[in-house]
Amino acid sequence: MKLAVVGATGLVGNEILEVLKERNFQYDELLLVASARSVGKEVEYQGKTHTVIGLEDAVAAKPDIAIFSAGGGTSTEWAPKFAEVGTIVIDNSSAWRMDPTKKLIVPEINGDAITIDDRIIANPNCSTIQMVLVLGPLHKKYGINRVIVSTYQSVTGSGKGAVDQMMAERAGEEPEMVYPHKIDMNVLPHIDVFQDNGYTKEEMKMTNETVKILRDEKVKVSATCVRIPTMGGHSEAVNIEFDNPYDLEEVKTILSKVPGLVIQDDVANNVYPMPLTAHKKDEVFVGRIRKDESKENALNLWIVADNLRKGAATNAVQIAQYVTENNLVLN
């Protein structure tokens, strides 16, 4: 089993290595792959020194699995080259997510969609992953027709430069600007680029990816995505409208059985999910579960997850585990 991590020196790449270690993911050889800038760099990992290699050398090594987190351009160009030599590519970028020939996977929800023929598997957007973990089982039970979501997203979702901008502002230093505005002590209703319809790309990812993962065009999602000056995780206020009546206690029972989902809902003791407490955790946390009293068959809840974990690295590693455990690796 030869495993490659492409983009190994980035924020998500680091988290992937951490999750692989924590989950004791078994491999015989690990290839750390990065752009020309980092080639030759030495990385200490699990008691071994790894020399970072370039993409061409990595393809020539024909890894069984390559977990990519190196941006859309790299994925578009290189994922097919790895796929051609038989590698299963698990891609964190948005390059392949809405390609009808590629699967978009959250293992707990639609892992069963993966077949032996899938060579490029897309990892969904962070804010989508944590939401569908809650929506999936509720959709199965009550049928969801509409979701209204507002997000409160961590600066880590924009990469290291954004963390640096926030910290420089906080320290009173001249920041290198990643966002079009100051982020510390501020809130930006703007994640990714604006589209012709007035929504941002991040908002449209939540709308389109949710439908693809739930495999139901009938589910309508309206999203407002907001960047806030926090680290640790993304938070989401979600309003769900069902086709059928639901029972609040039954909703909690259903959610309590979803692997990787933890209910934190004890308002009498101020217990609810927060980015600070979700940080570095693999689980998705849900709380503030309550009836929407303004509308029949509607529910409100609050979801938080570490966007670099379940929102990226953990989900990607879980896909890698799924394909190995289900004998879907070719080589």
Q: What is the 3-state secondary structure (H, E, C) of 42-104?
A: EEEECCEEEECECHHHHHHCCCCEEEECCCHHHHHHHHHHHHHCCCEEEECCCCCCCCCCCEE
What secondary structure letter does DSSP report for 284?
E
Q: Does the annotation place 12 within a ligand binding site?
A: yes
Q: Tell whether residue 202 is a contact of ligand 2RA (CB under 6 A).
A: yes
As measured in angstroms, the least distance from the Cβ of 143 to ligand 2RA is 28
Site string for ligand 2RA, 126-145 (x = CB under 6 A): xx------------------
**Annotated binding-site residue? 9:** yes
Residue 157 found at the interface with ligand 2RA (CB under 6 A): yes
Q: Which stretch binds ligand 2RA (CB under 6 A): 3-11, 124-132, 252-260, 276-284?
A: 124-132
d(CA 133, CA 241): 16
* Residue 225 bears catalytic tag: no
Per CB under 6 A, 158 contacts ligand 2RA: yes
- Residue with smaller CB distance to ligand 2RA, 61 or 163: 163
User: 139, 225, 234, 279: which is the annotated catalytic residue?
Assistant: 234
Kindly give the residue spans of alpha helices, DSSP state H, lying in 87-234: 107-110, 126-142, 160-170, 201-214
Whichever of 145 and 222 has its CB closer to ligand 2RA, that residue is 222
Question: Among positive and negative, which fits the CA dihedral 132, 8, 21, 165?
Answer: negative
Q: Is residue 307 part of the contact set for ligand 2RA (CB under 6 A)?
A: yes
97 marked ligand binding residue: yes
C-alpha span between 319 and 307 (Å, rounded): 16
Residue 126 annotated as catalytic: yes
230 or 324: CB nearest ligand 2RA: 230
**Which range binds ligand 2RA by CB under 6 A, 17-25, 150-158, 212-220, 252-260?**
150-158
Binding mask 161-200 for ligand 2RA (x = CB under 6 A): ------------------------------x---------
Q: How far apart are CA 156 and CA 134, in angstroms?
A: 23
The full DSSP string for 133-155 is HHHHHHHHHH-EEEEEEEEEB-G
Which residues share a beta bridge with 299? 240, 291
Is 119 annotated as contributing to ligand binding? no
100 and 217 Cβ atoms separated by less than 8 Å: no
Can you give the length of the chain in residues? Answer: 331
Q: Which is nearer to ligand 2RA, 34 or 226 (CB)?
A: 226
Nearer to ligand 2RA by Cβ, of 75 and 307: the residue is 307
Task: Report the alpha-carbon distance of residue 70 to residue 100 in Å, rounded.
Answer: 22
Q: Which residues bind ligand 2RA (CB under 6 A)?
A: 125-127, 153, 157-158, 191, 202, 307
Which residues line the annotated binding site?
9-12, 37-38, 97, 153, 227, 307
Q: So which residues are the catalytic ones?
A: 126, 234
What residues are designated binding site for phosphate?
Answer: 97
